[in-house]
């Protein structure tokens, strides 16, 4: 699929007009040229590395080699500065005050929502809901959509690849409603069995909820086809985009997806903030998730009427600085040409796969044809935890364990893997360090 680049890079015309040229909180290098694809900034990994201050530090006396972006990505200076500037100069509560600071903070927060809307090409900014993260977004849909649309005897489809946060919320609502969870199987490479998926779709299916990209294996699922197949049966689709958005643009209108969730912290933004995109029509039919301030229109003890979208789903004081910081992260990531980022990450993936495969005892878990820049492996005869610990002593940060995907580890009959996940700031030298580290670990452990 060709992903359409969003028109709004930084501030869109719409929001610029809407906010009548007030001072922007987003610390972006916005210019008219960046709206043209051909004039995007040239991607140069060594330049990118300079934007991430943490990459200069040492761990256990060695330069940090950060290969755990799948768990949480590092932050560019523009995000750090935006967060710091917000607290130093602009903080107040939003959506309520008549005073100047409150209006400025509200403007910045809503401007961030608009930046994200443009980035994911949602039709309306009120379809972009701020959440605490991917987990929170899925729980919101499971709870609210589930309460309204899932009943006894109904079915929800997930896959073997799912993160626990796209399993447990569905188990909870299914148990409550007497519905059941159906699981799309995978092959040894870690790819979905599409024939099985087709046969699982039936008139009891209420929702298909699958990951766009697997966090443990890197598998990129054929989501366009899955959405088409589901819609042919009138079944809405939720995509867990936590591992997709840090690597490429996603286009809500081109995908025609019904719900899409992701976390700010994996997209170079702050923790504690994320996004749930939902189609207006569905969100309007769904009951509120939580009750409280901001989500109401009028409250009496007899009856409360709810606020319109997006506020209906955003009860209480939100993570204001998180939303604004995420807006800055999107502006940062969006300045580069997508194809150059993908080419770079695929080069790192191919290089890492090739180099690691030359070490005796390394066994890859997850060898899908379509993969994001993640390598999961085992050093046969050793425990992933021991490999991770030895790598850490050399300043190399990888994730070890089940990666919140225990059913997937059960499928492979293993307790976990060593996972190196690469982001825009990783270079071939990082791979060389990893390979040297794994060789050293192999010498010590085997």
Ligand X SMILES: *Cc1c(COP(=O)(O)O)cnc(C)c1O
Task: Answer yes or no whether residue 27 interacts with ligand X by CB under 6 A.
Answer: no
DSSP code string of 50-93: HT-GGGG-EETTEE-EE-BTTT-----HHHHHHHHHIIIII---
DSSP at 312: G
Spatial CA neighbour of 246 closest among 56, 47, 76, 33? 76
Pick one of 133, 146, 218, 278: the residue that binds ligand X (CB under 6 A): 133
Three-class secondary structure of residue 282 per DSSP: helix
Give the residue numbers marked as catalytic.
404
Strand partners, 371: 219
**Interface stretch with ligand X, choices 162-170, 321-329, 367-375, 384-392 (CB under 6 A):** 162-170
**Interface stretch with ligand X, choices 92-100, 116-124, 127-135, 174-182 (CB under 6 A):** 127-135
Q: Which residues contact 168 (CB under 8 A, 6 or more apart)?
A: none
Measured from the CB of residue 132, what is the shortest distance to ligand X in angstroms? 7
Q: How many residues bind ligand X (CB under 6 A)?
A: 12
Task: Answer yes or no whether residue 219 interacts with ligand X by CB under 6 A.
Answer: no
Spatial CA neighbour of 18 closest among 29, 8, 28, 27? 8
Is residue 136 within 8 Å of 105, Cβ to Cβ? Answer: no
Distance CA 315, CA 326 (A): 19
Task: Answer yes or no whether residue 165 interacts with ligand X by CB under 6 A.
Answer: yes
Task: Answer yes or no whether residue 355 interacts with ligand X by CB under 6 A.
Answer: no
**Interface stretch with ligand X, choices 14-22, 131-139, 170-178, 287-295 (CB under 6 A):** 131-139
Pick one of 78, 139, 211, 417: the residue that binds ligand X (CB under 6 A): 211
DSSP at 358: T
Measured from the CB of residue 273, what is the shortest distance to ligand X in angstroms? 9
Task: Answer yes or no whether residue 283 interacts with ligand X by CB under 6 A.
Answer: no
Task: Answer yes or no whether residue 240 interacts with ligand X by CB under 6 A.
Answer: yes
Residue 5 vs 161, nearer CB to ligand X: 161
Pick one of 135, 159, 307, 319: the residue that binds ligand X (CB under 6 A): 135
Strand order in the sheet with 205-211: 128-131, 274-278, 259-263, 237-240, 205-211, 155-159, 180-184
Task: Answer yes or no whether residue 242 interacts with ligand X by CB under 6 A.
Answer: yes
**Interface stretch with ligand X, choices 133-141, 220-228, 340-348, 375-383 (CB under 6 A):** 133-141
Task: Answer yes or no whether residue 215 interacts with ligand X by CB under 6 A.
Answer: yes
Q: Please, what is the end-to-end C-alpha distance for the chain in angstroms? A: 44
User: How crowded is the C-beta side of 58, counted as CA atoms within 13 Å?
Assistant: 3
Is residue 355 within 8 Å of 437, Cβ to Cβ? Answer: no
Length of the chain, please?
Answer: 446
Task: Answer yes or no whether residue 230 interacts with ligand X by CB under 6 A.
Answer: no
Task: Answer yes or no whether residue 371 interacts with ligand X by CB under 6 A.
Answer: no
Task: Answer yes or no whether residue 263 interacts with ligand X by CB under 6 A.
Answer: yes
Site for ligand X, residues 96 to 125, rule: CB under 6 A: none
**Interface stretch with ligand X, choices 56-64, 191-199, 236-244, 380-388 (CB under 6 A):** 236-244
Distance CA 65, CA 393 (A): 11
Site for ligand X, residues 34 to 73, rule: CB under 6 A: none
Contact positions vs ligand X (CB under 6 A): 133-135, 163, 165-166, 211, 215, 240, 242-243, 263
């Amino acid at each position: 699929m060709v992903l359409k680049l969003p028109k709004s890079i930084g501030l869109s015309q719409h929001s610029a007009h809407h906010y009548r040229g007030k001072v922007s909180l987003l610390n972006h290098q916005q210019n008219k040229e960046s709206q043209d694809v051909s004039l995007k900034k040239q991607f140069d990994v060594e330049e990118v590395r300079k934007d991430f201050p943490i990459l200069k530090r040492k761990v256990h006396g060695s330069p940090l080699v950060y290969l755990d972006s799948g768990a949480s990505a590092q932050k560019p200076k523009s995000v750090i500065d935006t967060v710091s500037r917000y607290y130093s100069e602009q903080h107040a509560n939003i959506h309520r005050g008549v005073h100047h600071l409150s209006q400025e903070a509200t403007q910045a927060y809503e401007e961030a929502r608009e930046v994200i809307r443009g980035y994911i090409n949602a039709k309306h900014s009120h379809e972009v809901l701020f959440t605490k993260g991917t987990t929170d977004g899925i729980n919101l849909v499971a709870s609210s959509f589930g309460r309204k649309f899932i009943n006894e005897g109904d079915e929800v489809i997930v896959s073997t690849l799912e993160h626990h946060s796209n399993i447990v919320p569905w188990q909870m609502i299914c148990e409550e409603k007497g519905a059941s969870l159906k699981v799309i199987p995978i092959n040894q490479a870690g790819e979905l069995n599409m024939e099985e998926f087709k046969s699982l779709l039936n008139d009891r299916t209420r929702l298909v909820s699958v990951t766009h990209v697997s966090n443990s294996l890197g598998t990129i699922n054929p989501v366009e086809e899955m959405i088409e197949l589901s819609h042919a049966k009138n079944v809405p689709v939720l995509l867990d985009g936590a591992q997709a958005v840090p690597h490429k643009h996603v286009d809500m209108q081109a995908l025609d997806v019904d719900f899409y969730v992701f976390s700010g912290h994996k997209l170079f933004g702050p923790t504690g903030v994320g996004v749930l995109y939902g189609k207006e029509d569905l969100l309007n039919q769904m009951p509120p998730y939580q009750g409280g301030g901001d989500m109401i229109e009028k409250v009496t003890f007899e009856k409360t009427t709810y606020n319109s979208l997006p506020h209906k789903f955003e009860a209480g004081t939100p993570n204001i600085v998180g939303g604004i910081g995420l807006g800055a992260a999107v502006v940062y990531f969006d300045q580069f040409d997508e194809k150059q980022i993908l080419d770079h990450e695929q080069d790192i993936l191919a290089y890492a796969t090739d180099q690691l495969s030359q070490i005796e005892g390394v066994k890859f878990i997850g060898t899908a044809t379509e993969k994001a820049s993640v390598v999961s492996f085992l050093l046969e005869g050793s425990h992933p935890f021991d490999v991770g610990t030895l790598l850490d002593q050399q300043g190399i940060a990888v994730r070890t364990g089940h990666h919140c995907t225990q059913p997937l580890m059960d499928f492979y009959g293993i307790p976990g893997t060593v996972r190196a996940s690469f982001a825009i700031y990783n270079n071939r030298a990082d791979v060389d360090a990893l390979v040297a580290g794994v060789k050293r670990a192999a010498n010590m452990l085997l």
